[in-house]
């Protein structure tokens, strides 16, 4: 089923639902991480490329699709960082509410040139993990990455 979120939202409105999402810590040759400045939020927020899973997709397939859509990059997985299930309640500008289970992968670019899609990503920029923007939204994920963890569940 394409566009599962639209389908489910037509049935439940803005009420809280559980969603599955995947994201990528994309590293360059200097081990800096590609972040995107969200264009779909009222406040300035930096995050990693990623998005919601569609029915029939694996977590890895979701991440690769979302990365390609938001950045124009094809990536390969180096490792599975973890699944994040705690304190993941999110409210969206349109009033939707969701509890998000997030799967995070550490990746390298196979091909492509980073280009912000302007629908969700206003800007793409590589950051040193020690110097992320203060309004980066996945602080626990960053700490786990800096600690060289993998396969964790929080």
Active site residues: 123
Instruction: With H, G, I as helix, E, B as strand and everything else as coil, classify residue 15.
Output: coil
Phi then psi dihedrals of residue 33, to 5 deg:
-105, 135
d(CA 141, CA 8): 28
3-state per-residue secondary structure call for 29-93: CCCCEEEEEECCCCCCCEECCEEECCCCCCHHHHHHHHHHHHHCCEEEEEEEEEEECCCCEEECC
Ordered DSSP codes for 88-135: -EEE-TTS-EEEEEEEEEEEEEEE------SSSEEEEEEE-GGG--TT
Is residue 9 within a helix (H) or strand (E), and if so which, with residue range? helix 4-12
């Amino acid at each position: 089923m394409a566009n599962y979120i639209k389908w489910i939202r037509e049935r439940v409105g803005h009420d809280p639902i559980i969603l599955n999402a995947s994201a990528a810590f994309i590293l360059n040759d200097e081990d800096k991480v590609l972040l995107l400045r969200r264009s779909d939020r009222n406040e300035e927020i930096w995050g990693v490329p990623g998005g919601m899973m569609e029915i029939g997709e694996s977590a890895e397939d979701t991440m690769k699709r979302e990365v390609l859509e938001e950045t124009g990059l094809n990536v390969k997985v180096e490792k599975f960082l973890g699944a994040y299930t705690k304190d993941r309640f999110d409210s969206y500008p349109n009033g939707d509410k969701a509890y998000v289970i997030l799967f995070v992968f550490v990746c390298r670019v196979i091909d492509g040139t980073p280009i912000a899609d302007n629908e969700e990503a206003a800007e793409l920029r590589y950051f040193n993990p020690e110097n992320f923007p203060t309004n980066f939204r996945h602080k626990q994920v960053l700490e786990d990455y800096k600690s060289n963890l993998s396969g964790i569940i929080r």
